[in-house]
Structure 1
Amino acid sequence: MSILSAGTCKLLGRSLLAILGGYGLAALFAAALPLWLPQISGMSRADAALIGMMLSFLIFALWILFAFAARSGTRALMLHLLLSAPLLLSLMLLEAPAP
């Protein structure tokens, strides 16, 4: 007899994906946006960092909603990987400007 039922395991998996995955996605976005915005729009680095942090809260909340609204946990995980891969790649390729 298992301690956790199948439904409990699915709920636990989606909860971990929502909380940890959402935090990771928001952190990647908050780190990448301040590198993109000064190059695209010419705004200051401080303003770009502030906008990135504010938008990361929105991304975190939306990701939590999506993780539970997705048709399956696998679909949510694949979308998470699809969204975070370009952000991670851009962080590796773009260099932070010198202060």
Structure 2
Amino acid sequence: MSILSADTRKLVGRSLLAMLGGYGLAAMFAACLPLWLPRISTMSRADATLIGMMLSFLIFALWILYSYAVRCGIRALALHILLSTPLLLGLWLLEAPQP
């Protein structure tokens, strides 16, 4: 017998995915954008950092909305993995020491 009902467990799972997953996604985006933008444009790294930070707030808010709006929590988790994988790969590749 469980202390929490099935609905409560689903709500806790979505809340954790919304808060922790959204924070992680926004942080990865804010870390990757200052590395990507100066390489593809004439923008300075400081401007790219500001743009990345401002857009990360939007990504965090949209992720929270999406986490609760989607019908199935597994679908939100799958999208989180799909979005964070290229960000992690890009961070890993761009932060490698360059000769």
Asked if 1:16 is matched to 2:28, the reply is: no
Unaligned runs of 5+ in 1: none
Is the alpha carbon distance of 1:97 and 1:51 closer, same or farther for their aligned partners in structure 2, counting shifts above 3 Å? farther
Q: Does 1:49 align with 2:20?
A: no
TM-score by length of 2: 0.94
TM-score normalised over the length of structure 1 = 0.94
Residue segments in structure 2 that go unaligned for 5+ positions in a row: none
Residue 34 of structure 1 is matched in structure 2 by 34
State the identity %: 79
- The number of aligned residues is 98
8 Å Cα contact 1:35-1:96 kept in structure 2 = no
State the AA in 2 paired with 1:32: C
The Cα RMSD (Å) is 1.6
Q: How big is each residue's C-alpha offset from its partner over 1:10-53, in whole Å with a ceiling of 9 and x where there is no partner?
A: 00000000000000000000000000100111200000000000
Deviation of 1:95 after TM superposition, in Å, equals 2.9
Runs (4+) off by over 6 Å: none
Residue 92 of structure 1 pairs with residue 89 of structure 2: no
